[in-house]
């Protein structure tokens, strides 16, 4: 919304209107838009005393909702990387009614001396993956799936990390692995599994499986 016309210019328009100057002359002399002069003259004729601006306060002006203000500040403090635009998206999803504009949220955060969020996207995490087949395997486990006959099944699947090829899948009913030993460490190997020894870290950063289904 544009700034209101200053009071001295309004008074000059009112005086020239009383001198019966036309709209085009007043607008040219005071460097105003003819439509602005025409609207003010119409207002002065209807309400001669209404010379002061009467703009309504917008959503971000006047008395603000303190609860919403506190929530915006708290969200920035909990998530310093969130910008005002993303905070506004989060507030909209919460269904809190009318949400102020992004510029208003930026002004609120500046009032609380909150530093601006870092521009751009966050850098992607650096991961080391296998560069050739069988350099590293990944194990995928799924459990408690119900078949059409209501039988519960689980499965283990080995996938080659480099090629994505399925190396094998074993389907079996749910197996009770037993409780943890009191002194720490895992319990005995459950029936249906054969131990492979203690876990060891793979050179690619993966951990080898400690057991497979027989």
**Per-residue model confidence as pLDDT tens digits over 83-104:** 888 899 998 888 777 888 888 8
Evaluate whether residue 146 is within a structural domain: yes
Q: Find the distance separating the first CA and the last CA of the chain, reported in whole Å.
A: 74
Rounded Cα distance between 132 and 154, Å, is 30
Return the percentage of the chain with pLDDT > 70, whole number: 69
pLDDT band at 55 (very low <50, low <70, confident <90, very high): low
Evaluate whether residue 180 is within a structural domain: no
Q: Are residues 147 and 207 in the same domain?
A: yes
**Res 97: pLDDT:** 76
Are 5 and 53 in contact by the 8 Å Cβ rule? The answer is: yes
Evaluate whether residue 56 is within a structural domain: no
Q: Which residues constitute the domain of residue 152?
A: 137-175+188-213
pLDDT band at 25 (very low <50, low <70, confident <90, very high): very high
Q: Are residues 205 and 156 in the same domain?
A: yes
Into how many domains does the chain fold? 3
Evaluate whether residue 52 is within a structural domain: no
Rounded Cα distance between 172 and 169, Å, is 10
Are 15 and 48 in contact by the 8 Å Cβ rule? The answer is: no
Indicate the pTM of the whole model.
0.32
Question: Judging by DSSP bridges, how do beta strands 193-195 and 211-213 pair with one another?
Answer: antiparallel
Evaluate whether residue 196 is within a structural domain: yes
Are 212 and 170 in contact by the 8 Å Cβ rule? The answer is: yes
Evaluate whether residue 29 is within a structural domain: yes
> Which residues lie across from 201 on neighbouring strands?
207
């Amino acid at each position: 919304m544009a700034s209101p016309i200053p009071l001295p210019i309004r008074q000059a328009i009112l005086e020239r209107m009383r001198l019966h100057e036309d709209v085009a002359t007043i607008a040219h002399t005071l460097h105003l838009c003819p439509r602005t002069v025409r609207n003010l003259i119409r207002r002065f004729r209807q309400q001669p005393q209404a010379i002061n601006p009467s703009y309504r306060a917008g959503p971000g002006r006047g008395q603000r909702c303190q609860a919403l203000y506190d929530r915006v500040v708290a969200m920035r403090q909990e998530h310093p990387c969130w910008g005002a635009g993303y905070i506004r998206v989060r507030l909209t999803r919460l269904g809190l009614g009318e949400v102020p504009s992004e510029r208003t949220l930026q002004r609120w955060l500046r009032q609380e001396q909150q530093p601006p969020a870092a521009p751009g996207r966050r850098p992607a995490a650096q991961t080391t993956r296998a560069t050739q087949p069988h350099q590293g395997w990944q194990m995928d486990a799924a459990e408690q799936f119900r078949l059409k006959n209501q039988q519960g099944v689980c499965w283990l699947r080995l996938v080659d990390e480099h090629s994505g090829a399925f190396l094998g899948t074993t389907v079996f009913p749910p197996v009770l692995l037993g409780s943890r030993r009191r002194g720490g460490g895992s319990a005995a190997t459950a029936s249906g599994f054969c131990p492979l020894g203690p876990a060891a870290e793979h050179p690619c950063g993966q951990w080898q499986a400690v057991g497979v289904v027989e």
